[in-house]
Chains A and B, each alone.
Chain A
Amino acid sequence: MPAAPVIRLAHLGKHYETRAGPVPVLKDVNLDIGPAEFVAIMGPSGSGKSTLMSILGCLDAPSDGTYVLEGRDVGALSRDQLADLRNRVIGFVFQGFNLLPRATTLDNVALPLVYAGVGKSERLATARQMLERVGLGPYAASFPDQISGGQQQRAAIARALINRPRLILADEPTGNLDTRTSQEIMGLLRQLNADGGITVVLVTHDPDIAAHAMRLVHLVDGQVAEDGPLRRRVAGSRAR
């Protein structure tokens, strides 16, 4: 990793306050993720994967330690500055797709541009382009409940990509999809990583999905238990 890391976590900790006292979820997590890396985070249920993703996505704040995103200490940013990071730097892909049910595919994909203050015609043109790119061109006017799960996830990826983010955070992106569709979605993510140079961080509990990544981080009880490259598969995929 020669370049400056996109993500640097130092002694990161997170606990939730309950009536019985603080419950630790993440403990002293140290992690550097460089540009154009493809990292899979695995771990058993309750190991803190999702919490870590929320913190990486600036949706939640750590209790201890620091999170530096592209050289900026996230802990020092205001609510609106965080919103701006989520809008321009980070793209989210969720397990449940999280499209707005009342909006068409096109409007869903264009929504981040609305918050970025882009004008209407440019917004719709860019969104259409992005839908073509994920193979959803014919479904621009469809509503989320009119298309399949795989198509919804493609639309969600198009939405995540529309503001040209440097980082894609995918939280169990294939959790609700069948095996074949899962492979398609993973292929799309890999393509973005390889061709677009976008850093991808993926949370999954499926080893077959994790195998698409270059690097595997294993989380156990809120701590990094293992962190290493997945050489063979990465080398194989790069060779093609």
Chain B
Amino acid sequence: MTMGPMLSEARQAMGANRLRTFLTMLGMMIGVGAVIMMLAVGQGARDFVDRSIASMGRNLFVVLAGSATASGVRLGTGNVPTLTVADAQALEELATVDAVAPILPGAAQIVYGANNWGTSVLGITPRFLDVRNWRLSAGFPFDDSDVRSAAQVTLLGHTVVKNLFGDEDPVGKTVRIGKSPYLVMGILAAKGQSLDGRDQDDAALIPITTAQRKLFGSQFQGSVRFMVVRAGSAEAMPVAERDMTQLLRQRHRLADGADNDFSVRNLTALVSTAAETTRTMSLMLGAIASISLLVGGIGIMNIMLVSVTERTREIGIRCAIGARTRDIRLQFLLEALILSVVGCLVGVFLGVAGALLVSAVARTAVVVTLSSVLMAFLVAAGVGIFFGFYPADKAARLKPMDALRYQ
């Protein structure tokens, strides 16, 4: 038996009981729709985390200056100036380390015209922009000669520009940071919130030497509060951590038993935990949605079994006029497949619409990927064949005489 008459017969059979056909498909629609929606929500969460990671920069360590204990009072890390720019330069020589950006952070009031704005000011080297994966939206970055000469230049974050300049173009203007004038060389591209909700655009960058000597002042020449270190690759991170610790202990002349006077933190590890969490969550959502797909499949099997029983006599007639076992099996299998595939198509549509609705109502990022749609589709077709096979086989195995005599 060829496919053409089979298709039209399947259509006739399903058209004969439209409500039942629709309800059976509804199970598939809901199942597929749920899977696609859940995958979209999960993918949205993952994309958010991925973007956060990308905005922070990849394969990063933070090396913090050490804590001090004086008269039983233990101060937090970064309070004792144990790290220097020289340390940063030494770390950069390591084979496993790609780039090092020493940072001296502080807070200062910035004034332009009648406006003023308190923000965090970071003393940095030009390496910083590269390591943090930060671009400029206008102007130019300062370079190593500005750092050597401790030039009074600055790069402003988006939030700072908005608060000080409004619509005015800040590049080339002079602002006052603390007590001295600084030339605005460029504007940092907007980065948005970090994973912990901090506004990354509320900052001004100045050469680290300027921060050390002029803005914050320091009794220790060349000291930095922390450094951001980028490893050569994700795989090299454990080795890089060991190398850095070893080198810094050597440089700081720490005895074998002594505690580190600095700490190395793997930033990527923190973020990959977040990524891991979202991945687990989306997997779980998908698994729950898959259960409804399974239930939809069982619905198809149920209806096909009813249909085979109802049409026993028809099967008998078909046998009497020459239908082979495979003709009968294929006919019922095709009906199950149509039920699941049509249900699935509508389900894809529902799932995408639902995902868009969720993103509109909950203001969450929701991403429908082609692969998730394809996967849901293939699974649905598989479910149709799997759950359609038993009823179809049952129909095909009926004895012609028994089927024909069935009342």
Is there an interface contact between A116 and B322, defined as CB atoms closer than 8 Å? yes
Is there an interface contact between A59 and B319, defined as CB atoms closer than 8 Å? yes
Is there an interface contact between B322 and A83, defined as CB atoms closer than 8 Å? yes
21 contacts between A and B (CB under 8 A): A60-B401, A80-B326, A83-B324, A86-B320, A87-B321, A87-B322, A98-B313, A98-B317, A99-B317, A100-B317, A102-B16, A103-B9, A111-B318, A111-B321, A115-B318, A115-B321, A116-B322, A117-B1, A117-B2, A120-B5, A163-B322
Is there an interface contact between A59 and B1, defined as CB atoms closer than 8 Å? no
Bound state CA distance, A50 and B324, in angstroms?
23
Is there an interface contact between A80 and B325, defined as CB atoms closer than 8 Å? yes
Nearest CB of chain B from residue A34's CB, rounded to whole Å: 24
Task: Give 1 or 0 for each of A79-98: 1 = CB within 8 Å of chain B CB.
Answer: 11001101110001000001
- Closest B residue to A83 by beta carbon equals B324
Q: Count B interface residues, CB 8 Å.
A: 25
Which of A54, A100, A103, A115 contacts B322, CB < 8 Å?
Answer: A115
Is there an interface contact between A102 and B12, defined as CB atoms closer than 8 Å? yes
Bound state CA distance, A112 and B324, in angstroms?
11
If A59-B400, A102-B12, A117-B2 touch, whether A92 touches B320 (CB-CB below 8 Å) is yes
- Closest A residue to B327 by beta carbon equals A115
A145-187: which have CB < 8 Å to B? 159, 163
* B→A interface (CB under 8 Å): 1-2, 4-5, 9, 12-13, 16, 313-314, 317-327, 399-401, 404
- Closest A residue to B328 by beta carbon equals A83
- Closest B residue to A116 by beta carbon equals B322
User: Please, which residues of chain A bring their CB within 8 A of the CB of B9?
Assistant: 103
- Closest B residue to A115 by beta carbon equals B322
If A114-B5, A115-B327, A117-B2 touch, whether A100 touches B314 (CB-CB below 8 Å) is yes
- A48 CB within 8 Å of chain B: no
Nearest CB of chain A from residue B18's CB, rounded to whole Å: 13
User: Please, which residues of chain B bring their CB within 8 A of the CB of A43?
Assistant: none
- A35 CB within 8 Å of chain B: no
If A60-B401, A120-B5 touch, whether A159 touches B325 (CB-CB below 8 Å) is no
Bound state CA distance, A100 and B16, in angstroms?
13
If A54-B401, A59-B401, A98-B317 touch, whether A83 touches B323 (CB-CB below 8 Å) is yes
User: Please, which residues of chain B bring their CB within 8 A of the CB of A112?
Assistant: 321-322
Nearest CB of chain A from residue B65's CB, rounded to whole Å: 84
Nearest CB of chain A from residue B157's CB, rounded to whole Å: 73
* A→B interface (CB under 8 Å): 54, 57, 59-60, 79-80, 83-84, 86-88, 92, 98-100, 102-103, 111-112, 114-117, 120, 159, 163
Nearest CB of chain B from residue A144's CB, rounded to whole Å: 12
User: Please, which residues of chain B bring their CB within 8 A of the CB of A92?
Assistant: 320-321
Is there an interface contact between A159 and B321, defined as CB atoms closer than 8 Å? yes
If A115-B324, A117-B2 touch, whether A86 touches B401 (CB-CB below 8 Å) is no
- Closest B residue to A54 by beta carbon equals B401
Bound state CA distance, A120 and B399, in angstroms?
29
Which of B12, B16, B404 contacts A59, CB < 8 Å?
Answer: B404
Bound state CA distance, A117 and B326, in angstroms?
13
Which of B1, B313, B401, B404 contacts A115, CB < 8 Å?
Answer: B1
Is there an interface contact between B13 and A102, defined as CB atoms closer than 8 Å? yes
User: Please, which residues of chain B bring their CB within 8 A of the CB of A84?
Assistant: 322, 324
User: Please, which residues of chain A bring their CB within 8 A of the CB of B12?
Assistant: 102-103
Nearest CB of chain B from residue A23's CB, rounded to whole Å: 16
User: Please, which residues of chain B bring their CB within 8 A of the CB of A100?
Assistant: 314, 317
Bound state CA distance, A111 and B318, in angstroms?
8
Bound state CA distance, A117 and B3, in angstroms?
11
User: Please, which residues of chain A bring their CB within 8 A of the CB of B1?
Assistant: 114-115, 117
- Closest A residue to B2 by beta carbon equals A117
User: Please, which residues of chain A bring their CB within 8 A of the CB of B320?
Assistant: 57, 59, 86, 92, 98
User: Please, which residues of chain B bring their CB within 8 A of the CB of A98?
Assistant: 313, 317, 320, 404
Nearest CB of chain B from residue A153's CB, rounded to whole Å: 14
- Closest A residue to B326 by beta carbon equals A80
User: Please, which residues of chain B bring their CB within 8 A of the CB of A116?
Assistant: 322
Most buried by B among A79, A114, A159: A114
User: Please, which residues of chain A bring their CB within 8 A of the CB of B324?
Assistant: 79-80, 83-84, 115
Bound state CA distance, A86 and B1, in angstroms?
15
User: Please, which residues of chain B bring their CB within 8 A of the CB of A87?
Assistant: 321-322
User: Please, which residues of chain A bring their CB within 8 A of the CB of B317?
Assistant: 98-100
User: Please, which residues of chain A bring their CB within 8 A of the CB of B2?
Assistant: 114, 117
User: Please, which residues of chain A bring their CB within 8 A of the CB of B313?
Assistant: 98
If A59-B400, A117-B1 touch, whether A86 touches B321 (CB-CB below 8 Å) is yes
Bound state CA distance, A103 and B314, in angstroms?
11
Bound state CA distance, A99 and B313, in angstroms?
10
Nearest CB of chain A from residue B363's CB, rounded to whole Å: 51
Extra pairs beyond A59-B320, A111-B318, A115-B322 (14, CB < 8 Å): A57-B320, A59-B400, A59-B401, A79-B325, A83-B322, A83-B323, A83-B325, A84-B322, A84-B324, A98-B320, A115-B321, A115-B327, A120-B4, A120-B5
- Closest B residue to A120 by beta carbon equals B4
Bound state CA distance, A112 and B401, in angstroms?
18
